[in-house]
Chain A
Amino acid sequence: MRLSKAWIVAARDFKIFRRVKNVWVSIIVFPVIISVLFPVILEYTRARGNHGLAAPGVLPALLNSFSFFLVIGAAYVPIGIASYSIVGEKVEKSLEPLLATPLTDGEILLGKAISAIIPTLVAMYAAAVVFMVGVDEVTFNTLGYYYFPNWTIATLLIVLMPVAIVMSVLFSVIVSSRVNDVRSANSFGVFMFLPLLGIYLASETGIITLDINSLLIISGILLAVDVALFFVSTATFRREEILTKWK
């Protein structure tokens, strides 16, 4: 597999994305909401004197739970991009001429993955920076120190988030083979969203603690899911399969 060829496919997709509003919305809206919403909530509760939510003893666990939303976003955002990238080609019927070139199935798939992973990583890392700065700003007086950055969020951003993004992209490839429009593909994003939301709720209700160990265990589980999805998606993304069996 030649990375340079995959990069040509990704670069072409980036050019296309510049002109597709839905992709921009996917990349911008969710990260902006996550990065701004939680600092605003904390500031609002602090301003109203609700020390139950913003009390020094409660805050670290709460902030870890909040930061898990960055993972949820990272799993959700690529659905919109990868779905457009593959379903869009399907709608435009531009896959057949692409498949008739010397590119291998793997190079095309990798190119599609790169085109979904890079914008998501950039958007979510930018969101993480805004989130951390905003949270530090509103919690410094309560905690007496800057909570972020720390090893927990570093694990979340460097280990868990990429694994979640890859899971989402591979899932999108499988979904794309079964649907004929981007909106339908996006609606399948709920299957990525709900399990991760479940983890978030479990952390909020004290069932699990989102410390480094927990994040590494979750990463390991998602990595196993990635491996399984990789085999299914590469079996799905084959020339003959695409031309004869994709709906």
Chain B
Amino acid sequence: MSGDIKLIDTENLTKKFGDLTAVDSLTLHVSDGEVFGFLGPNGAGKTTTVRMLCCLISKTSGNANIGGYDIGKKEDSIKIRKIIGLVPDNVGLSENLTAYDNIDFYGKIYDCSDAQRKENNKLFLEMLGLWDKRNVLAGTFSKGMKQKLAIARALIHEPQVLFMDEPTANLDPEAAKTVREFILQLKKEKKTIFLNTHNLDEAQRICDRVAIMNTSLRAIGTPQELERSVSGRKTVIGLEQQANDAVFGALKKLALKNLSTGGDTITFDVEDPDKENSSVVEAIVLSGGHVRSINVVGSTLEDTYLKLVRK
């Protein structure tokens, strides 16, 4: 079942604030059990998108469904808010409440039974390493601990979709790592996560698919697909001596894309280095060439991101 059901489905979703278009014709879908990264610079419309999908603000036009419920219908908005969990960019904890009371309050709002609340409060506080601090005021927590508590709060009612708005922003590397590891743990449990971030490394490590956004959607796909989408990878082969006509002729027969030679190096575009490079090396050797080195270079997700958001 996982992966077949579209839990988030948007079509031309648009939000305008007066003359300013914050989100323009966004079309995407996120499947059940998928970790979806939503990448974009500050002001790209990521938070506005999450707020629309969480029924916190209205859309201007377009459509969006969460778990089959329409965000534009008033009667559906409460149903949507029942099946989602939100970790906002500002954790928004009640600083004068203990960690336990902070999440227990949310359990009550979501109609969790006493037994379920007790079990989940303990489960998530333990998973996030906060159980020993359950009776400590949230206001005394470090940023990392607050972030973890905000995640526990969003999970307390076991939502179908978890929205996380830059969960590792402003955290020190160690705290960010702990949060990332927890998200990976949720990924193993097949939780559906919509992750707003501008941390490309994080997106690459955690997300099944990512979308690059800057008011409008610039690209969508797996991190690997996006890396290749702007400019594909290249193979650079170093030879012991300059490429002679025999070597060059042999390579021409392979119909390699953008083949070029520069002294003792040969460069060409490659789709699948594992498959293509071996036949290229074989052709060079058979034509009398001696291979010194093989390197595959390509655009990174960062290259793709920078190119797309600057469009």
Q: Contact at A102–B81, with CB atoms within 8 Å?
A: yes
* Nearest CB of B to A92, in Å: 6
Cα–Cα distance between A20 and B86 once the two chains are bound (Å): 27
Majority DSSP secondary structure for residues of A touching B = helix
Tell me, yes or no, whether B171 is within 8 Å of chain A by CB: no
Point out the residues of chain B lying under 8 angstroms from A101, CB to CB: 81, 106, 109-110
The interface size bin for chain B is: 20 to 34
- Residues of A within 8 Å of B54, CB to CB, are 100
Of residues 1 to 39 in B, which have CB atoms within 8 Å of A's CB atoms?
17
Given the known inter-chain contacts A94-B93, A94-B94, please indicate yes or no for A102 contacting B109, CB distance below 8 A: yes
Contact check, A100 vs B86: say whether CB atoms are below 8 A apart. Answer: yes
Q: Interface residue count for A (Cβ, 8 Å)?
A: 25
Q: Does B154 contact A (CB under 8 A)?
A: yes
Tell me whether A97 and B101 are in contact (CB under 8 A).
no
| B residues near A16, Cβ cutoff 8 Å | 94, 96-97
CA A93 to CA B137, docked complex, whole Å: 16
Q: Are A244 and B17 in contact (CB under 8 A)?
A: yes
User: Which residues does chain A contribute within 8 Å of B97, judged by CB atoms?
Assistant: 12, 15-16
The answer to whether B96 touches A5 (Cβ under 8 A) is no
Query: A-side interface residues toward B, CB under 8 Å?
Result: 5, 8, 12, 15-16, 19-20, 89, 92-104, 239-240, 243-244
10 tightest A-B contacts by CB? A93-B90, A94-B92, A100-B86, A93-B92, A19-B96, A102-B81, A16-B96, A96-B88, A240-B57, A97-B92
Known: A92-B95, A97-B86, A244-B57. 12 other contacts (CB 8 A): A92-B94, A96-B86, A96-B88, A97-B150, A100-B55, A100-B86, A101-B81, A101-B106, A102-B82, A102-B109, A239-B57, A243-B56
Which residues of B pack against A, CB within 8 Å? 17, 51, 54-58, 78, 81-82, 84, 86, 88, 90-97, 101, 105-106, 108-110, 137, 150, 153-154
